[in-house]
Structure 1
């Protein structure tokens, strides 16, 4: 599979209009895809944003011509009934044929608990995700679908407007069970950079291969997407300070477990030194050194790299990356 290079539109950091402008600039800069998360609540209260992904994808699609649009990731199990997601992404697929990806995951309590929804344990969240994907696929494949699941049901439901080119489903995961599910039933797999190599090499990729084998497939049949956390700038201090807005990503699972309030998440994040805030990011000022560090993930087996830049000046990042990094990566891929 050829190397694909994408841009992560930071919906938790920017409002819908400027975020759409960045998506347009990403296409102009030579990126292949734009992926956006679907948050109800951002990681920070001050300066935080949370535009809805579904209308935003439609708006960006209407302003671009070739770039692939997707979610990384959306949770089709609590705020949404899976049938609503099936209808929405079928519509997007009709509007922008061959350019839409539905990326799904088991969710964050930050987005569901504020609506009064009960946040179950990981076992139930996984079961809901698996059932939701099954129902979405059934609705895309058939008419008058009656579905009786543990968590969701439909009674003679039909999605009337479906694209001729099927919308691929990617599953985002950081543990072996959901990763095996991705290998078994999804078209692609989504994970994030900045963790121990052993997680990718010894846990996630073997689990993905195991799931694919059960479906009579190999990893070559899947799009292996990794969200690359990069802070690239000619000024090293600026590149370091840019990571502060996303310091929540450097919190340990224990530190952020059960935190559903953006104000509390912000407080915990602001207590971290900048060195810890930057620990999840490839911070670099030299394009050759930067590409060398990115190549490590290509060597692990990832072929679709979606770059998430933490700074407030996204236009600057897109211009720098388009001029100095993307050409080097494309030469590497070829």
Structure 2
């Protein structure tokens, strides 16, 4: 597959209008895709944002011409009934044929619990809900008057009248073997994030994606292995390091944050971390060639869709620097 280079629109960090301006600039700078996070609450309370990704994607499509756009990731199982997700993405797909991807995952308690008042279920139930939701969404895109007697979701004579104008891919995000295998078997792409232990990719995620692909009912030569690359690139190395502090929450372990449902508490935990730990999830560099050498192992593993997430507040600076100094070198070297 051709290498695809995307921009991560951090909806938790920027107001909707500013985020839209950055994403339009990313298209102009040569990025191939824009993926937006879908949060009901941000990781930080101070200066945090949480716009509706569903509404924002419509504005992005209308403001751009070329880029592929999608969610990384949306949870179609708690805040949203899957039939509403099918309706929204049917509309987006009909407005912008061939340019929309639905990226889904099992969710974070920080988003789903405050909006619903629910008791956050165990992983087994969250995964079961995701599988059922994906099945229902696809049926609504292909069938009319659908009565769906699911365990978690039901419809009665439901029809999505504005279906996608072209085939709309569904990507599944995961950090464990079961979800990775499911993505390979049932989805059009797999999403994960960089900066974790190396054997998670080489021994767990990618082998299970491959096993899932081998179990798929049909060959998937265009199956997309997408990874969100956490990168802090700036000619000023000190600035690149300091930029990561605002995203220190990413360095918290699952055990440290799994029961946290409040942005203020998440912010408190993150702010207590030293900058070295905050930066541990990021590729931090000031030289383009060194930067590419640090990205190369992910490409060598088989990831062909890299979506770059930069932590700093000056996203316009990052987009310009990356578009001028990094993207051309990546394309020249890896095609």
TM-score with structure 2 length normalisation?
0.98
Tell me the alpha carbon deviations over residues 243-294 of structure 1, each in whole angstroms, 9 at most, x when there is no partner: 0110000011111120000000000000000000000000000000001111
Q: Which runs of structure 2 are paired with 1:1-334 in the superposition (5 Å)?
A: 1-115=1-115, 116-216=117-217, 220-334=221-335
Aligned-partner Cα distance in 1 for 2:178–2:306: 23
Aligned-partner Cα distance in 1 for 2:268–2:147: 47
**Contact conserved, 1:35 with 1:72, CA < 8 A, in 2?**
yes
Aligned-partner Cα distance in 1 for 2:332–2:279: 28
Q: Shift in Å at residue 197 of structure 1?
A: 1.3
Tell me the alpha carbon deviations over residues 125-174 of structure 1, each in whole angstroms, 9 at most, x when there is no partner: 00000000000000001111110011001001001111231110000000
Look up the SS of the partner of 1:14 in the other structure.
coil
Tell me the alpha carbon deviations over residues 39-58 of structure 1, each in whole angstroms, 9 at most, x when there is no partner: 00100000111111000000
**Contact conserved, 2:36 with 2:53, CA < 8 A, in 1?**
yes
**Contact conserved, 1:22 with 1:315, CA < 8 A, in 2?**
yes
Look up the SS of the partner of 1:70 in the other structure.
strand
Look up the SS of the partner of 2:210 in the other structure.
helix
Tell me the alpha carbon deviations over residues 64-86 of structure 1, each in whole angstroms, 9 at most, x when there is no partner: 00000100000000000000000
**Contact conserved, 1:111 with 1:260, CA < 8 A, in 2?**
yes
Aligned-partner Cα distance in 2 for 1:52–1:118: 23
**Contact conserved, 2:113 with 2:120, CA < 8 A, in 1?**
yes
**Contact conserved, 1:83 with 1:135, CA < 8 A, in 2?**
yes
Look up the SS of the partner of 1:136 in the other structure.
helix
Aligned-partner Cα distance in 1 for 2:218–2:109: 33
Q: Shift in Å at residue 218 of structure 1?
A: 6.0
Q: Which moved more, 1:312-321 or 1:179-188?
A: 179-188
RMSD, aligned α-carbons? 0.9
Q: Shift in Å at residue 216 of structure 1?
A: 4.4
Aligned-partner Cα distance in 1 for 2:270–2:297: 28
The verdict on how the C-alpha distance between 1:86 and 1:318 changes in structure 2, with shifts beyond 3 A counting, is: same
TM-score with structure 1 length normalisation?
0.99
**Contact conserved, 1:92 with 1:100, CA < 8 A, in 2?**
yes
Look up the SS of the partner of 2:77 in the other structure.
coil
Aligned-partner Cα distance in 2 for 1:92–1:186: 19
Aligned-partner Cα distance in 2 for 1:21–1:285: 25
Look up the SS of the partner of 1:231 in the other structure.
strand
